[in-house]
Amino acid sequence: MAYENIRLETQGAISTLTIDRPKALNALNSKTLQELESALQTLGPDTRVLILTGGGEKAFVAGADIAEMSSISAAQAREFAALGHRVMATLESLPFPTIAAVNGFALGGGCELALACDLIYASEKAKLGLPEVSLGVIPGFGGTQRLARLVGKMRAKELIFTGGHVSAAQAKEYGLVLEVLPADKLLEHCRSVAEKILKNGPLAISQAKRVIEFGADQDLRAANELERQGFAVLFGSGDQREGMKAFLEKRPAAFTGK
Ligand code: CAA
């Protein structure tokens, strides 16, 4: 499928989705969000890790599109936020890991896009933040909730109230990014993490993601029940039998995802 503002490339089991509107620093307008939504829905069982990054030299994504938002009504803003929320929820519920390769500005909706990914790595030149209050609004693609859950309520309030940009190193200190890499090593690093993931059982990775993701919103008792179900459901899969047999036979496992 031909897209105008994004690029989807697949190399083996790793797909890379690039938000590619560098003239507007990859800002998310409705069209880009719609393209993202449909691209995420086309990812089939061949994709086992998705890497998201930004096109051009400067930005991952510099936010939702301010020009488009500047004159919309409250009802339209609600629809726009619903579209953004759908994209983030689709990303979060993909049955395989997603990695944000934050190669530059990740502000507002761009930071929210990274927050909806399972793992975030950043280049040394990345700047992250939720500057919406400087525009007279608040984050609208889930940032108030996901940031607070990731870095804690107080740090999230500080970042959102001040609207400032933080460096990749500072973001790492806050637990907002996992590692900071030289710009020319960022994608290579993300691919090497993806390769490590690919060595493991796909069904197990999918269950682990589901249980961590849904469990995080529940109390410990209910979340642990989710874990027990996820654990049990894997028994009887070909991957469980192969993984344990390979261990006992002292050879690498050949998982099939069945
Ligand atoms: N929306 C639309 N266009 C944007 C944009 C955005 N979020 N961010 C940058 N652009 C455009 C600029 O308007 C400019 O276009 P022109 O060349 O046509 O003038 C082009 O991208 C390059 O940007 P700058 O000239 O501003 O580049 P810079 O290097 O001087 O500054 C920057 C870079 C600090 C990222 C600055 O562009 C900036 O502050 N951008 C806005 C960041 C922001 O506020 N994001 C939050 C948006 S609100 C949101 O996301 C709501 C939500 O949660 C749903």
Q: Which atom of ligand 1 is nearest to the CA of 134?
A: 44
Query: What are the start-end ranges of the H helices in 74-167?
Result: 74-92, 109-115, 143-151, 153-162
9 phi and psi angles, rounded to 5 deg: -125, 145
Q: What does the pLDDT read at residue 1? A: 74
Beta bridge partners of 101: 121
| Tokens linked to 249 | 């036979």
**What confidence tier does 44 reach under pLDDT thresholds 50, 70, 90?**
confident
Q: CA 111 to CA 117: how far, in whole Å?
A: 10
Q: CA 188 to CA 255: how far, in whole Å?
A: 24
Nearest CA to ligand 1 atom 35: 62
Nearest CA to ligand 1 atom 16: 24
Q: What does the pLDDT read at residue 45? A: 86
Query: Residue 52: is its pLDDT beyond 80?
Result: yes
Query: Residue 81: is its pLDDT beyond 80?
Result: yes
b/e for 22-37, b at 16 or more Cβ within 10 A? eebbbbbbbebbebbb
pTM, rounded to two decimals? 0.97
34 near 83, Cβ under 8 Å?
yes
Question: Cβ neighbours of residue 248 under 8 Å, at least 6 residues apart?
Answer: none
List pLDDT tens digits, range 3-20. Answer: 999 999 999 999 999 999
Given ligand 1 and candidates 5, 36, 61, 66, which is best to mutate, with the most ligand atoms within 8 Å of its CB? 66
Q: What does the pLDDT read at residue 236? A: 87
Question: Does the Cβ of 140 fall within 6 Å of ligand 1?
Answer: yes
Query: Residue 215: is its pLDDT beyond 90?
Result: yes
User: Mean pLDDT, to the nearest integer, of 139-160?
Assistant: 98
- Rounded mean pLDDT of the chain? 97
Question: Does the Cβ of 25 fall within 6 Å of ligand 1?
Answer: yes
List pLDDT tens digits, range 112-132. Answer: 999 999 999 999 999 999 999
Active site residue 112: yes
List pLDDT tens digits, range 133-144. Answer: 999 999 999 999
Given ligand 1 and candidates 20, 21, 25, 145, which is best to mutate, with the most ligand atoms within 8 Å of its CB? 25
Question: Cβ neighbours of residue 50 under 8 Å, at least 6 residues apart?
Answer: 14, 15, 16, 17, 43, 94, 96, 97, 98, 99
Structure-token match 């993909």, residue found:
94
Distance 127 CA to ligand 1 centre (A): 13
**What confidence tier does 105 reach under pLDDT thresholds 50, 70, 90?**
very high
User: Mean pLDDT, to the nearest integer, of 172-200?
Assistant: 98
Q: What does R_g of the chain's alpha carbons equal in angstroms?
A: 19
Distance 111 CA to ligand 1 centre (A): 13
User: Mean pLDDT, to the nearest integer, of 12-38?
Assistant: 98
Distances (CA, A) of 247 to 147, 201, 208, 250: 39, 13, 20, 5
Question: Does the Cβ of 129 fall within 6 Å of ligand 1?
Answer: no
Question: What burial class does residue 150 get, using C-beta atoms within 10 Å of its C-beta: 0-12 exposed, 13-18 middle, 19+ buried?
Answer: middle
